[in-house]
Amino acid sequence: MSPIEVHHVVEGARGGPTVVLAHSLGTSMRMWDPQVPSLASGHRVVRYDARGHGRSPVPSGPFTIEDFADDLLQLLDRLDVERAHLVGLSLGGMAAMSLAADRPDRVSSLSLLCTSAQLGPRQLWIDRAHTARQQGMAVLGSSMIERWFTPGFLAAHRDVVAGLRAVLEDTPPDGYACACEAILNMDLRERLASITAPTLAIAGAEDPATPPEHLQLIADSIPGARLEVLDDAAHLANLEQPARVNSLLLEHLAGA
Question: Residue 154, exposed/middle/buried by CB under 10 A (0-12, 13-18, 19+)?
Answer: middle
| Residue 115 confidence (pLDDT) | 98
- pLDDT band with cut points at 50, 70 and 90 for residue 142: confident
pLDDT at 117: 98
- Predicted confidence (pLDDT) at residue 1 exceeds the cutoff of 80: no
Contact 13, 79 (CB under 8 A): no
Confidence of residue 246 (pLDDT cuts 50, 70, 90): very high
Q: What is the pLDDT of residue 256?
A: 87
User: Confidence band (pLDDT; 50, 70, 90) for 179?
Assistant: very high
Average pLDDT (19-44) is 98
Given a cut of 90, whether residue 168 has pLDDT beyond it is yes
Decide if 169 contacts 143 (C-beta within 8 A): no
Please compute Rg for the chain using Cα positions: 16
Mean pLDDT of the chain: 97
Residue 105: predicted pLDDT: 98
Q: Is the peptide bond before 62 cis (omega within 30 degrees of 0)?
A: yes
Sorted by sequence, the CB contacts under 8 Å of residue 249 that are 6+ apart come out as 35, 38, 39, 87, 111, 200
- pLDDT above 90 for 233: yes
